[in-house]
């Protein structure tokens, strides 16, 4: 691979594999700005956050923080595994998009938010983002089983989580639609001058929707406090990134709107957190939007009924074995002196927590039929 070693090492393999080599090779080199040999100040600004990130890649977590990240990621993993099982048993129906493999993204980014101030919005692969807030797994799982105790009373389901309390604005099923909505959330932060920002997540596939670029322009034009996060997991359903995208270096896609981009290893929670600090500080200083590309990988199918023929077993296995975000931190905990027994105890506690959520979700009552007619409007029709 022509990529420089440190970068290639920190990148998950599928992207490297999926991207054409010449492009990747030219990436870290200074951009030849319109034939000039020295880049202009403006071009520099577009890459300055990335350079800051390169200088200080990993967040210096305390033992306590590291443990917390580990627990959160593991909770997401086990929760999603259980959701997959409940789906298999017929207790969950419809669409169910698991976050397994991508845990470090939501955990790393959301750990850097200011609770109760910043807002978050995402697509349908949203269980992990809810759990990363510390929201009760019971009400998330009960939403998956479509019960009254679910966080959206069973009316929304897997794709449409929502938490007013945490300023989590959903859970959206129309690919890309959450991005302009995120622009609006940021507009509200700016208007209120509350110092908050909006974190708007979307996928590599969603990055090809037109409304994303309408929002980029507005956000840059109006200097909105928004961090756009492209979770690049390599695929949109069965379509690999290189088959859908002319520019596969997604962090560059804001360049035409003068939005600085950051290219981040989404498989290492500490790199994610470090990048988040840089991006959030930039936005909070009133310097306008940032575009972060989080390179990650989904281990499971797109949804539950994915034939999975668009990639090899080896590719998935390779990620699981060599790039797993949870194993990475587990190893680090051991290096910092956590014993095997202590780590096992954590695992056990999390399994118990997830089992409790599953029981709750299975045994909660179905919504009352009258719910068909409620919540359509604030008032009645």
Partner 1 sequence: MAIMTIRDAINETIREAMRRDKDVIMLGEDIAGGAGTAGGQEAIGGIWGTSVGLVGEFGPERVIDTPISESAIIGAAAGAALAGKRPIAELMFSDFIGVCGDQLINQIAKFRYMFGGNTRCPVVVRLIYGAGMNSGAQHSQAFYNLLTAIPGLKVALPTTPADAKGLMNEALMGDDPVMFFEHKALFGKKGEVPEGLHRVPFGHARMAREGGDVTIVAFGRMVSFAEKAADALAEQGIGCDVIDPRTTSPLDEEAILDSVEQTGRLVVVDESPPRCSMATDILALVSEKAFTSLDAPPQMVTAPHSPVPFSKELERAWVPSPDAITAAVRRTLDWG
Ligand X SMILES: Cc1ncc(C[n+]2csc(CCOP(=O)(O)OP(=O)(O)O)c2C)c(N)n1
- Please report whether residue 301 would count as binding Mg ion according to CB under 5 A: no
Structure tokens given for 94: 């419809």
Closer residue to partner 1, CB minimum distance, 67 or 86: 86
Which residues make Cβ contacts (< 8 Å) with residue 277, sequence separation at least 6?
59, 112
CB of 66 vs partner 1, minimal distance in Å: 36
Binding segment for partner 1 (CB under 8 A), chosen from 19-27, 52-60, 203-211, 258-266, is: 203-211
- Please report whether residue 175 would count as binding ligand X according to CB under 6 A: yes
The 3 state secondary structure assigned to the chain is CCCCHHHHHHCCHHHHHHCCHHHHHHCCCCCCHHHCCCCCHHHHHHHHHHHHHHHCCCCCCCHHHHHHHHHHHHHHHHHHHHHHHHHHCCCCCCCCCCCCCCHHHHHHHHCCCCCCCCEEEECCCCHHHHHHCCCCHHHHHHHHCCCCCCCCCCCCCCCCCCECCCCEEEECCCCCCHHHHHHHHHHHHHHHCCCCCEEEEEECCHHHCHHHHHHHHHHHHCCCCEEEEEEECCEECCEEHHHHCCCCCHHHHHHHHCCCEEEEECCCHHHHHHHHHHHHHHHHCCCCCEEEEEECCCCCCCCCCCCCCCCCHHHHHHHHHHCCHHHHHHHHHHHCCCCHHHHHHHHHHHHHHHHHHHHHHHHCCCCCHHHHHCCCCCCCC
- Please report whether residue 196 would count as binding partner 1 according to CB under 8 A: no
The residue from 101, 156, 171, 203 that contacts Mg ion (CB under 5 A) is 203
CB of 99 vs partner 1, minimal distance in Å: 18
Q: 79 contacts which partner out of Mg ion, ligand X, partner 1, none, CB within 5 to 8 A by kind?
A: none
Q: 99 contacts which partner out of ligand X, partner 1, Mg ion, none, CB within 5 to 8 A by kind?
A: none
Closer residue to Mg ion, CB minimum distance, 149 or 236: 236
- Please report whether residue 128 would count as binding Mg ion according to CB under 5 A: no
The residue from 145, 178, 209, 233 that contacts Mg ion (CB under 5 A) is 233
The residue from 2, 51, 117, 174 that contacts partner 1 (CB under 8 A) is 174
Binding segment for partner 1 (CB under 8 A), chosen from 72-80, 179-187, 225-233, 361-369, is: 361-369
The residue from 139, 236, 275, 294 that contacts ligand X (CB under 6 A) is 236
Binding segment for Mg ion (CB under 5 A), chosen from 32-40, 139-147, 226-234, 279-287, is: 226-234
CB of 123 vs ligand X, minimal distance in Å: 6
Binding letters toward ligand X, positions 194-223, x by CB under 6 A: ---------xxxx-----------------
- Please report whether residue 269 would count as binding ligand X according to CB under 6 A: no
- Please report whether residue 295 would count as binding ligand X according to CB under 6 A: no
Binding segment for partner 1 (CB under 8 A), chosen from 127-135, 154-162, 264-272, 353-361, is: 154-162
Binding segment for ligand X (CB under 6 A), chosen from 139-147, 232-240, 275-283, 353-361, is: 232-240
Alpha-carbon distances of 322 from 207, 269, 316, 381, rounded to whole Å: 27, 15, 10, 56
- Please report whether residue 140 would count as binding partner 1 according to CB under 8 A: no
Residues that bind ligand X (CB under 6 A): 125, 173-175, 203-206, 233, 235-237, 302
């Amino acid at each position: 691979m022509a990529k420089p070693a440190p970068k290639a090492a920190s990148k998950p393999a599928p992207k490297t594999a999926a991207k054409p080599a010449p492009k990747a090779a030219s990436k870290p080199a200074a951009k030849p700005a319109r034939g000039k040999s020295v880049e202009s100040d403006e071009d520099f600004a577009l890459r300055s956050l990335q350079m800051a990130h390169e200088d200080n890649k990993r967040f210096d977590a305390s033992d306590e923080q590291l443990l917390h990240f580990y627990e959160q990621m593991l909770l997401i993993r086990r929760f999603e595994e259980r959701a997959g099982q409940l789906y298999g048993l017929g207790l969950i129906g419809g669409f169910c998009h698991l976050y397994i493999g991508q845990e470090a993204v939501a955990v790393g980014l959301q750990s850097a938010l200011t609770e109760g101030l910043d807002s978050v919005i995402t697509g349908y692969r949203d269980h992990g983002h809810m759990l990363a807030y510390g929201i009760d797994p019971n009400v998330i799982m009960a939403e998956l089983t479509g019960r009254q105790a679910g966080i959206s009373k069973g009316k929304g389901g897997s794709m449409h989580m929502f938490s007013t309390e945490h300023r989590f604005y959903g859970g959206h099923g129309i690919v890309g639609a959450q991005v302009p909505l995120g622009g609006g959330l940021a507009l509200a932060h700016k208007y209120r001058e509350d110092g908050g920002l909006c974190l708007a997540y979307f996928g590599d596939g969603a990055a090809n929707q037109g409304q994303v670029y309408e929002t980029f322009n507005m956000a840059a034009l109006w200097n909105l406090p928004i961090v756009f996060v492209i979770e690049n997991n390599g695929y949109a359903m069965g379509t690999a990134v290189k088959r859908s995208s002319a520019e596969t270096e997604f962090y560059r896609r804001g360049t035409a709107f003068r939005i600085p981009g950051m290219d981040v290893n989404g498989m290492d929670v500490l790199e994610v957190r470090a990048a988040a600090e840089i991006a959030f500080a930039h936005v909070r200083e009133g310097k306008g939007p940032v575009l972060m590309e989080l390179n990650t990988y989904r281990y499971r199918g797109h949804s539950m009924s994915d034939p999975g023929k668009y990639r090899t077993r080896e590719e998935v296995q390779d990620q699981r074995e060599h790039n797993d975000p949870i194993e990475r931190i587990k190893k680090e905990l051991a290096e910092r002196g956590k014993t095997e027994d202590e780590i096992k105890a954590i695992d056990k506690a999390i399994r118990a927590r997830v089992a409790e959520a599953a029981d709750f979700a299975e045994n909660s009552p179905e919504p009352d039929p009258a719910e068909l007619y409620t919540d359509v409007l604030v008032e009645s029709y």
